[in-house]
Amino acid sequence: MSDATTTQTTTPEMWAPTDSQLLPHGIELGPSHLTVRSLERALPWYTDALGLTVAEQTPTSAQLASIGGEVVVGLTEDPEATAPGKTAGLYHVALNMSRLELSRMIRRIVQAKAAIQGASDHGTHEAIYLPDPDGNGFELAADRPRADWPDWNEHPGSIQPQALDLEALFAVSGDGAIPPHAEGVTTGHLHLHVGDIEQGLAHYRDIVGFDVKFQMPTAAFVSADGYHHHLGFNVWNGVGVPGAPDHSTGLRYWSVVVPAAEDVDALAARLAAAGTETTRDDAGALLVPDPWGTTLRVTARD
């Protein structure tokens, strides 16, 4: 969704209230792996501002998680990397957490004097937007209970984001000391730049198998199991933009975890039938490029 307090003024073109997803029920999003220029520069932002902890580290990579949680962000150092410019690729990674943890995280961000780009209330969730030191975009989000989500089909205007009540969110964590380490952080959704919305839908809806939640002329939002969106993609970098060049900061891959190995195989078969070339990594995960070379990594939970 929009990464600022200003609203999108275009009414969505279509709605999809029925469940037509080809993906199995019970998917989750796994870690997103990003390229940074310097681990030494990047890690303090992730650990001090966000409160994530280093679960594993090598001289050129790091895996980051919250206390007792799974890895949500992987970093790989590439000193030759530069900003990708107006290309397809990462718009932002959304990290989900409780409202209390989001309140604490905002306080950590302020204490670390990290830049914030925007803040929005989407009805379904409250969100803060900010870049890491390499410009990789992040959304920090707290979902409202699903029963409280607005019905976009009955009330299309509710899709427009509102200004976030930062004062109320600050108050959730009180005036006491803030724990230095985040708890309960998961990956909520990804948002990508693409070169064409219909081509994106042909890939992510028709082959990968997400269900469309809503669509505008310049963006589409898709999900599984009725979630507000697991993936958004837009043409805000321009229609027809190419994929990011080699040695770019940004997204190396994002991840979906499906319930069983046969679900991975079913997706692989759909992709093969559609003429999409895929590969498997050393762990047996399915690597799926979209039409602009952005890679989705699919693994099984079992």
202 has a pLDDT exceeding 70:
yes
Helix or strand or coil: residue 58? strand
Per-residue pLDDT of 127-149, as tens digits, reads: 999 999 999 999 999 999 999 88
pTM beyond cutoff 0.85: yes
Predicted confidence at residue 4, as pLDDT, reads 40
Mean pLDDT estimate for the chain: 91
Return the HEC string of 168-226: HHHHHCCCCCCCCCCECCEEEEEEEECCCHHHHHHHHCCCCCCEEEEEECCEEEEECCC
Task: Judge whether 88 and 243 are in contact, CB under 8 Å.
Answer: yes
All domains in the chain, ordered by first residue: 14-300 (3.10.180.10)
Q: Name which of 8, 6, 5 is nearest 218 in CA terms.
A: 8
Which pLDDT does position 160 carry in this prediction? 72
Instruction: State which amino acid sits at residue 83.
Output: A
Buried/exposed 166-182: b ≥16 CB within 10 Å, e otherwise: eeebeeebeeeebeebb
* Percent of the chain at pLDDT exceeding 70: 91
> Does residue 3 have a pLDDT over 50?
no
Instruction: Answer for the pair 100, 172: CB distance below 8 angstroms, yes or no.
Output: yes
Closest CA to 256 of 28, 24, 21: 28
**Whole-number pLDDT of residue 151:** 74
Q: Are 144 and 102 in contact (CB under 8 A)?
A: no
* Distance from C-alpha of 224 to C-alpha of 237, rounded to nearest angstrom: 26
**301 pLDDT above the threshold of 50:** yes
Residue whose token pair is 């410009």:
135
- Please write the tens of the pLDDT for every residue from 96-115: 999 999 999 999 999 999 99
Residue pLDDT, tens place only, 234-285: 999 999 999 999 999 999 999 999 999 999 999 999 999 999 999 999 999 9
